[in-house]
């Protein structure tokens, strides 16, 4: 399993006392320092808000280079191309990303879309910026052909294993492209929106960056299903017009109960994003009520334990819906999201959701891994190395090298499907799985060797077959047999990509071994009638020589070809029995 150790340090400016100059062949007039500073003003302001003492030189230099290299290039909207990397950097600055990340965002398309080389960028901006830019640079479509998209995503995944900021830059890049998607032709809009929903939005979810996920969801929804999006937007707009009035009685009761229990908290209405409403109600939006278009968010000013006191206060004020309490504080989601969720009945009889979290939990709930990177300062590796919310990335890295380009994206889509099952080993370790996953998937999530030898499970102390579905909270022990091995039937049981890839590998290997064995037995019989001993020929290297003459790297490949009929027996005999 790959070890996650994202590298991150501060951008190092040119050595003091040496004034940087562009190489002669690149030097030309830019817009002047005043125009550069004016264009960069929003970015500088956003960055200073997160890093009050941050310098401006690095960002100014990155912008000047990017603007010069992209000069003359236009977006589909007709706007100068530099507006795109500048917008990407501004999105990242709004989340509090560091200077190095912002410089890489400004330069992220230079290697892909201009004559600027990665080597030149490395020499000018340093290794760290070069790694980030290289990670998000698409592979050449002319060189890679139909494999370009799949291999580009594989490249991003591998780069993210070294530095997660690569993936964060890619998400911000896609968000701005979705914001400007209306300038693309219809067929391209649909393709980009579909890929966003299937690949980029799940990455944002896995990293817990919900501020990006929600907007990307809604923008892709608008591009893919414009009529449904418009209907949902209007229904939500109408419902939210009544939200203050509809929630007022419940808010008053909750506020009084919180004061009675001695909990300080802010209570506010939290609208659901449009795609979430669409997924919940589909086209049935007639008479959408405020409690269906929004939730209440309680921001507790206190410690973690105060969230549970607040939960008791809410349930004392309003009748709770049985079985609808979800404790993501004691058992965080696999992206480390932490909050309490409950459903209660309003005084008017409408059920609605209440989310409870502390002020300290809120940045992680909104920005996910970005909050951890930001809080780690110069030592960001401690923010991500060994985190269990990144085990999904380790598992993805474990199978990606065995997936051919033609299958990689389909497997990636499956692997990124929302995982909302959190089961436990007998040692108390959490194993995150997608809905519908089985005990066999659980076994492979532990490690491939356990999966290959799985013969059953003990779930919550009871014997269960490999096909049993694992549910959140289950304690699962895997039963194994040293002689156990995957069978074709297992592909009908396994749900996760990790399990299916390993099963298919083992089955393919076994079929190849069986074919080679069958071909060898056939050749042994044929040679025996000609007084040739195959074992002796193998010992002397004659079999390998014949295999190489026929274009096979190994003798087993030759034997398998004999078995499946792609190699004629007479042709092979002629090489063993020479006149």
pLDDT digits (tens, 9 = 90+) for 38-67: 889 999 999 999 888 887 899 999 999 999
Q: Among this protein's residues, is 489 annotated catalytic?
A: no
In a shared domain, residues 199 and 256: no
In a shared domain, residues 120 and 161: yes
Domain boundary among 367, 385, 418: 367
Instruction: Point out the catalytic residue in the list 56, 64, 112, 366.
Output: 112
In a shared domain, residues 203 and 273: no
Is there a domain that residue 231 lies in?
no
Mind listing the pLDDT tens digit for each residue in 219-239? 999 999 999 999 999 999 999
HEC letters along 226-247: HHHHHHHHHHHHHHHHCHHHHH
Q: What is the DSSP letter of 321?
A: P
In a shared domain, residues 196 and 282: no
Is there a domain that residue 546 lies in?
yes
In a shared domain, residues 280 and 359: yes
The whole-model pTM stands at 0.74
In a shared domain, residues 286 and 178: no
- Which of 132, 176, 129, 137 shows the shortest CA–CA distance to 153? 137
pLDDT of the residue at 390: 66
Pairing of strands 430-433, 454-459: unpaired
Write out the residue range of the structural domain in which residue 537 sits: 504-577
Q: Among this protein's residues, is 379 annotated catalytic?
A: no
CATH number (domain holding residue 70)? 1.10.3210.10
Mind listing the pLDDT tens digit for each residue in 65-92? 999 999 999 998 899 999 999 999 999 9
For residue 343, the cross-strand partners are 353
In a shared domain, residues 303 and 167: no
In a shared domain, residues 241 and 203: no
Is there a domain that residue 392 lies in?
no
- Listed in sequence order, the residues at least 6 apart from 293 whose beta carbon sits closer than 8 Å to its beta carbon are 235, 236, 239, 240, 243, 271, 272, 277
d(CA 256, CA 23): 68
As for how many domains the chain has, the answer is: 3
Instruction: Point out the catalytic residue in the list 56, 64, 67, 113.
Output: 113
Is there a domain that residue 306 lies in?
yes
In a shared domain, residues 152 and 259: no
pLDDT of the residue at 554: 86
- Listed in sequence order, the residues at least 6 apart from 177 whose beta carbon sits closer than 8 Å to its beta carbon are 84, 192
- Which of 266, 346, 348, 254 shows the shortest CA–CA distance to 301? 266
Is there a domain that residue 361 lies in?
yes
Below-70 pLDDT ranges, the chain: 1-33, 140-143, 376-392, 417-420, 578-579
In a shared domain, residues 125 and 201: yes
Q: Annotate 38-96 with DSSP letters as a single string.
A: HHHHHHHHHHHHH-TT--SHHHHHHHHHHHHHHTT-B-TTSSBTTHHHHHHHHHHHHTT
pLDDT of the residue at 2: 37
């Amino acid at each position: 399993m790959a070890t996650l150790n994202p590298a991150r340090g501060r951008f190092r400016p040119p050595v003091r006392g040496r004034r940087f100059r562009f190489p002669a062949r690149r030097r030309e007039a830019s817009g002047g320092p005043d125009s550069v500073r004016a264009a960069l003003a929003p970015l500088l302001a956003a960055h200073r808000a997160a890093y009050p003492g941050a310098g401006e030189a690095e960002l100014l230099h990155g912008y000047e280079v990017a603007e010069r290299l992209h000069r003359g290039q236009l977006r589909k909207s007709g706007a100068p191309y530099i507006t795109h990397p500048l917008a990407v950097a501004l999105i990242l600055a709004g989340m509090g990303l560091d200077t190095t990340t912002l410089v890489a965002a400004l330069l992220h398309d230079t290697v892909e879309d201009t004559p600027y080389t990665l080597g030149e960028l490395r020499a000018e901006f340093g290794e760290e910026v070069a790694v980030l830019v290289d990670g998000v640079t698409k592979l050449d479509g002319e060189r890679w052909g139909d494999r370009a998209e799949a291999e580009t995503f594989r490249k991003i995944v591998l780069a993210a294993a070294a530095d997660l900021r690569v993936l964060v830059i890619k998400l911000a890049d896609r968000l701005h492209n979705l914001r400007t998607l209306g300038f693309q032709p219809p067929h391209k809009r649909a393709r980009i929106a579909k890929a966003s929903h299937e690949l980029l939005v799940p990455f944002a979810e896995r990293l817990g960056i919900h501020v990006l996920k929600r907007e990307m969801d809604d923008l892709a929804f608008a591009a893919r299903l414009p009529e449904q999006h418009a209907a949902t937007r209007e229904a939500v707009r109408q419902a939210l017009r009544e939200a203050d009035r509809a929630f007022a009685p419940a808010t008053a009761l909750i506020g009084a109960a919180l004061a009675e229990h001695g909990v300080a908290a802010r209570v506010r209405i939290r609208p659901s994003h449009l795609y979430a409403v669409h997924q919940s109600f589909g086209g049935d939006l007639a008479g959408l009520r405020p409690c269906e278009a929004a939730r209440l968010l309680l921001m507790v000013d206190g410690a973690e334990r105060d969230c549970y006191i607040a939960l008791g206060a809410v349930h004392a004020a309003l009748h709770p819906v049985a079985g609808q309490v979800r404790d993501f504080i004691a058992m965080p989601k696999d992206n480390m999201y932490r909050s309490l969720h409950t459903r209660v009945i309003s005084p008017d009889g409408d059920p609605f959701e209440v989310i409870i979290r502390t002020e300290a939990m809120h940045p992680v709930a909104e920005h996910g891994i970005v909050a951890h990177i930001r809080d780690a300062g110069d030592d960001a590796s401690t923010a991500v190395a060994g985190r269990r919310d990144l085990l999904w990335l380790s598992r993805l890295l474990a199978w990606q090298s065995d997936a051919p380009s033609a299958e990689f994206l389909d497997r990636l889509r499956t692997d990124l499907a929302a995982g909302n099952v959190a089961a436990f080993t007998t040692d108390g370790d959490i194993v995150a799985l997608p809905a519908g996953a089985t005990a066999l998937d659980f076994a492979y999530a532990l490690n491939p060797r356990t999966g290959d030898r799985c013969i059953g499970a003990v779930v919550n102390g009871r014997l269960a077959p490999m096909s049993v579905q694992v549910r959140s909270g289950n304690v699962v022990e895997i039963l194994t047999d040293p002689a156990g091995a995957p069978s074709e039937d297992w592909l009908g049981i396994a749900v996760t990509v990790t399990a299916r890839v390993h099963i298919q590998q083992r089955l393919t290997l076994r079929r190849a071994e069986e074919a080679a064995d069958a071909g060898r037995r056939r050749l042994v019989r044929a040679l025996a009638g000609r007084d040739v001993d195959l074992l002796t020929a193998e010992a002397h290297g004659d079999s390998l020589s014949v295999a190489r003459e026929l274009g096979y790297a190994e003798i087993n490949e030759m034997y398998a070809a004999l078995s499946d009929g792609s190699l004629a027996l007479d042709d092979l005999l002629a090489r063993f029995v020479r006149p």
